[in-house]
Amino acid sequence: MIRVVQKEDFDFIYALYMHPEVNPFLLYEFMEASAFVPEFNQLQERNVLYIFGHEQKDAGMFKLIPYTHRSDHIAYLGGLAIHPDHRGKGLGLKMMEEIIALGKTKNLLRIELSTAVDNARAIRLYEQVGFEREGVLRKYTHLKKEKIFLDELMMSYLY
C-alpha cells in the first residue's frame, strides 16, 4: 500500500533518511531532526513524499516528483528506501510495482531515477521491474563527510 506522507509520519521518515545503512544512498547528509523539519515540511506540502506500507506497518518511502510543462509526462523517483528491518522480504519489488502503477494513474509516460553506480542491489531491483540504464553522471553525488564523489547511473522506466 502506498500513501502520501502526513505530518505525523515525520519520525518514520526522519529515522529512515538518517539510518546509517540507508543514508549514504540518499540525498541528505546526516542532520539533527530540527534541521530536517523544513525539508520534510516542503516535501509534505508538495505531496511528493510517500510511505510504502506492508501488513499495517510502515516499511519504506520514496519521492515521486512530477516535472512540469513540456515534461509533465515525466516524474523523478528518489529517496527510495525500504527500512532495514523489512529487508529480505521482497518488499522492494512490491514497492516498485506499486510505484509503477501509481505513475500510470498519474498518466506518466516516463519515470527516471539515479543511483550510485556501485549500488548493485538497487540496480538489480530497478532492472527487474523494467528500468533501463541510460548513462552515467560522473562525480554527481558529493558525500561531504566522507570527502568523496560518486558516479550516478541514470535509469528510466517507459510506459
Q: Which of 7, 3, 83 is nearest to 42 (CA)?
A: 7
The DSSP annotation for 71-119 comes to GTTEEEEEEEEE-GGGTTSSHHHHHHHHHHHHHHHTT-SEEEEEEETT-
Q: Is the domain 2-158 a CATH 3.30.870.10 member? A: no
Of residues 28, 31, 29, 63, the one with CA closest to residue 44: 63
Domain boundaries, the chain: 2-158
- Give per-residue pLDDT as tens, 26-76: 888 888 999 999 999 999 999 999 999 999 999 999 999 999 999 999 999
Q: pLDDT category, 148, cuts 50, 70, 90?
A: confident
User: Residue 145 — φ and ψ, nearest 5°?
Assistant: -60, -40
Q: Which residue in the block uniquely carries the three cell numbers 515525466? A: 74
